[in-house]
Amino acid sequence: MRVLEGQFRNPSGCAISAVISRNGERMSGEQIIESMKPMHERSNGLGGGFAGYGIYPEYRELFALHLFFSGKEAKKDCEDYLKGALELVKAEVIPTRTIPAITDEPLIWRYFVTPLRSVLASMQVDENEYIARVVMHINTAITGAYVFSSGKNMGVFKAVGFPEDVGEFYRLEDYGAYSWTAHGRYPTNTPGWWGGAHPFALLDWTVVHNGEISSYDANRRCIEMYGYKCTLQTDTEVITYIADYLLRKQGLTLEETASVIAAPFWETIERMPEAEKRELTYLRTVFPSLLVTGPFSIVLGFHGGLMALNDRLKLRSMVTAEKGDRVFIASEEAAIRAMEPAAENFYAPAGGEPVIVRVREGCC
């Protein structure tokens, strides 16, 4: 009997990398694809993906929904739902290139949409909350349809394959982004399938992750109380929802969010100055179930910036570097050198120490 993906366990790591232009200059996807090549061994061909920010300037006011459909029926069901729920401005196939390395692709479409103002008014929710609910509804209730990207002026592109092939498949050279994140997957506990590739996205938030979340079920049970549904059969998804919950719904800053996800040990908190001690004690007390334990290095993408973060014990590698207005983040220095041989100011952030990079005001 053939053993299928998801029925066995295979151990190892993943690769992440990211680049951002602080001046908001647009970069094609070629450079970020290049960064994944020296880290080829960190993936096993069961998932690769990218997120680009600033790629749809002509539709900047609209939500760009990227969807996988298992077939025509799922597509029809989903479109029927979308037509009733939203104003559909444009629907198109996401352009791809047929290459031998990427096979068994689902139908891959994108929809530029906006919620109907009258619906928002009657439901008394803002447009972000409404879109988040639409995403959760499709992913849980419409068989064979998965929304894998749902922000404004940004998009996720992911597939089963090595990341460098996935980038070629999606023709990322045709997009211009002020920031890119990338992921090469080596799934360890859960199936390698199209929806399970990284980045994981909700609204503008995207997460690429190398690691394994020991606290997954505690985190999942907590976040599902607030209306999020974990449907994608892998742990990273929950970090995306935690980020959305803490940043959008609770209004925490990125630094505070990092202090919840990768909270310092009580012993470390005890030794801090009084004000800091009070704040960190508060965050750990209010959001204990959103502490993410186990090894991780992540890059959180958002509108206008990136945040890199390691678990508090730093059980995964991560380096950052700069060159001009560009900031680079990757699992390995070699990946950064592949993007920019002359990169400088290499730095290895400590466990739990967020590195936050923002595009200059008005540049994205």
Partner 1 sequence: MMRTIDATGMEFTELNGLLRRTEGDIELQGCLGQRFIGAGMGNRKIRIHGIPGNALGAYLNGGELEVFGNAQDAVGDTMNAGTILVHGSIGDTAGYAMRGGKIYVRGNAGYRTGIHMKAYKEHLPVIIIGGRAGSFLGEYQAGGILVVLGLHTDGRPIVSNYPCTGMHGGKLFLRSDCRDLRFPKQVTARPASPEDLEEIGDYLEEYCALFGLDRSHILSSPFTVVTPDSANPYRQMYVAN
Q: What is the DSSP string of 65-83?
A: EEEEESSHHHHHHHHHHHH
Q: Are residues 246 and 263 in contact, defined by beta-carbon separation less than 8 angstroms?
A: no
Q: Closer to partner 1 at the Cβ: 159 or 318?
A: 318
What are the angstrom distances between the C-alpha of 77 and each of 162, 231, 242? Answer: 31, 18, 29
Rule CB under 8 A: is residue 30 a binding residue for partner 1?
no
14 is catalytic: yes
Rule CB under 8 A: is residue 286 a binding residue for partner 1?
no
Half-sphere exposure of 83 (CA within 13 A, CB side): 7
Rounded least distance, CB 271 to partner 1, Å: 8
Stretch that binds partner 1, among 64-72, 227-235, 253-261, 327-335 (CB under 8 A): 327-335
Q: Closer to partner 1 at the Cβ: 136 or 313?
A: 313
Rule CB under 8 A: is residue 332 a binding residue for partner 1?
yes
Centroid of chain to Cα 241? 10
Rule CB under 8 A: is residue 335 a binding residue for partner 1?
yes
Task: Tell me whether residue 87 is exposed, middle or buried, using C-beta atoms within 10 angstroms of its C-beta: 0 to 12, 13 to 18, 19 or more.
Answer: middle
164: left (phi over 0), alpha (psi -120 to 50) or beta: alpha
Strand 48-53 to strand 179-184: parallel, antiparallel, or no bridges (unpaired)?
A: antiparallel
State which of residues 10, 12, 23, 41 lies at the interface with partner 1 (CB under 8 A).
41
Rule CB under 8 A: is residue 276 a binding residue for partner 1?
no
Half-sphere exposure of 299 (CA within 13 A, CB side): 33
Stretch that binds partner 1, among 3-11, 33-41, 45-53, 182-190 (CB under 8 A): 33-41
Stretch that binds partner 1, among 17-25, 61-69, 106-114, 333-341 (CB under 8 A): 333-341
Rule CB under 8 A: is residue 265 a binding residue for partner 1?
yes
Rule CB under 8 A: is residue 195 a binding residue for partner 1?
no
Backbone phi, psi, residue 222, to 5°: -65, -50
Could you give the string, one character per residue 290-319, with x where binding to partner 1 holds by CB under 8 A and - elsewhere?
-----------------------xx--x-x
Catalytic residues, which ones?
14
Which residues contact partner 1 by CB under 8 A? 38-41, 265-268, 271, 313-314, 317, 319, 332-335, 337-338, 346, 348, 350-351
